[in-house]
Amino acid sequence: MRDFDNDDGHMLFGGMRAEAIAERFGTPVYVTDENILRENYRRIYNAFSKHMDTRVHYACKANSSLAILRILEQEGSGIDAVSVGEVMTSMKAGFPASRILFTGNNVSTAELRTVADLGVPINIDSASELERLAGIDTKIPISIRVTPDVGSGHSEKVVTGAKGSKFGIPADLVVETYGRALELGFRPFGIHAHTGSGGQTPEPLMDVVSVLADMTNAIKDEHGLDLEVIDMGGGMGVPYRPNEREMDIEELASAVTDIILDETSVRTVALEPGRYLVCDTTVLLTRCHDVRYTGTKNYIGVDAGFNTLIRPAFYGSYHHVAVANKFNRAGEGKYDVVGPICESGDHIARDRALPAPEEGDLIAVYNCGAYSFSMSSTYNSRPRCREVLVNNGVAELIRDSETIEDLWRHQMIPKRLS
């Protein structure tokens, strides 16, 4: 978890006081530091590319804001897209089709046709998808997603690589599936797996690469097919809590590339970081509007609820919080930070040691760049909030807030009810 500077009791973010950002743009608001994003990309790319040819495909489901995508495009990233919407959004941000890899799940034929027509390489997720794509276009570049029987993640809801998963070709059918792809006229360029999201140790990722290396060699032995790329997927976690150990990305890169170079003839590794790139780039700023003491609980009521940030309610996730305008004060009591949603589960944080709160205080919620705005909603008819980009003390609006009218935009009342 990143530490941020203190300016006379005020939190500094991206070279600006958080309070100044909130006063200008209102709350709740997501604020991203461009320099942290660029730094994160360069760190992970350099760690792997010093050992072998490397393709970084940003898992844009984590955060698909156009400005974020544009920055990563400038850095040379590729894209891991899981829907036509993500494909087209990435193209809008400037990514060519050749730098996007579509990895859908339970993909419709219509969606497959659209992706193929756009010229985007496709990561095949099932035997059915392979057969249906053959009826559309066998010239489109493909790789195949396999179920490696290796799973990991911060929650059981995000483990994707375990045996019996809904994702990928079962391990015992992989070699046969590559044979079928060749029979249909495809020439697969790679093999892919994904263990899960937000793991904190490198061992599962090393294990999955070992599995992929064995499969690569078995495919070559059985079908004479030399794959070009081993795609280890994503899942690199980040620390959400103070003093939590950070994954050693240099150690991971060295271990993974050693396996590929020593055990296979493949000379290109691909990886799909999402959370690792964007998580700690962003804070959520939310204003305290209500302070209440119930005898058993002390509450700080803010204007961001689980419509704005659902991870704590959905996954039980921890996000560090601080009072941005009392940044130099020690905790004076234990407080729950709660939102305006009409649900008992509308908690952002529980039992946190914080300075004594007052109405008007600004609460900063850390590590909100991944799966935060992208999972937000209009529940309770609350419009989604703004997003702001900061760069060396300059703040720019990159997404405006919705209005109440936006909530009605695609609705209609039948004339017979008028």
Burial class (CB in 10 A: 0-12, 13-18, 19+), 296: exposed
Burial class (CB in 10 A: 0-12, 13-18, 19+), 262: exposed
Burial class (CB in 10 A: 0-12, 13-18, 19+), 51: middle
6-32+279-408 maps to CATH 2.40.37.10: yes
8 Å CB contact between 154 and 317: yes
Burial class (CB in 10 A: 0-12, 13-18, 19+), 80: buried
The whole-number pLDDT of residue 154 equals 43
Q: Which of 336, 366, 338 is nearest to 351 (CA)?
A: 336
Distances (CA, A) of 195 to 182, 206, 272: 26, 10, 11
8 Å CB contact between 363 and 301: no
Distances (CA, A) of 352 to 48, 96, 337, 389: 38, 45, 8, 28
Tokens of 405: 């009218």
Identity of the amino acid at 63: N
The pTM for the full model equals 0.94
User: Which string of b and e fits 200-225 if b means at least 16 CB within 10 Å?
Assistant: bebebbbbbbbbbbebbeebbeebeb
Alpha helices (H) in 297-380, listed in sequence order: 311-315
8 Å CB contact between 17 and 275: no
8 Å CB contact between 325 and 10: yes
From 60, 279, 288, 342, active-site residue: 342
Cα–Cα distance between 359 and 352 in angstroms, integer? 17
8 Å CB contact between 66 and 89: yes
Cα–Cα distance between 199 and 234 in angstroms, integer? 9
Residue-by-residue pLDDT tens, the chain, 418 positions: 899 999 999 999 999 999 999 999 999 999 999 999 999 999 999 999 999 999 999 999 999 999 999 999 999 999 999 999 999 999 999 999 999 999 999 999 999 999 999 999 999 999 999 999 999 999 999 999 999 876 444 445 444 445 666 789 999 999 999 999 999 999 999 999 988 755 677 888 998 999 999 999 999 999 999 999 999 999 888 999 998 988 899 999 999 999 999 999 999 999 999 999 999 999 999 999 999 999 899 999 999 999 999 999 998 999 999 999 999 899 999 999 999 999 999 999 999 999 999 999 999 999 999 999 999 999 999 999 999 999 999 999 999 999 999 999 999 999 999 8
CATH superfamily for domain 34-275: Alanine racemase (3.20.20.10)
Distances (CA, A) of 306 to 63, 287, 360: 17, 15, 20
**What is the phi/psi pair of residue 400, to 5°?**
-80, 160
Cα–Cα distance between 104 and 124 in angstroms, integer? 8
The three-state secondary structure class of 409 is coil
| Region of 253 on the Ramachandran plot (φ > 0 left; ψ -120 to 50 alpha; else beta) | alpha
Cross-strand partners of 362: 287
Parse the chain into domains and list their residue ranges: 6-32+279-408, 34-275
The whole-number pLDDT of residue 163 equals 62
Distances (CA, A) of 249 to 145, 231, 371: 24, 16, 21
77's CB contacts (< 8 A; 6+ apart) are 41, 45, 56, 57, 58, 99
Q: Is 288 a catalytic residue?
A: no
Tokens of 60: 């844009």
Q: Are domains 6-32+279-408 and 34-275 of this chain identical in fold?
A: no
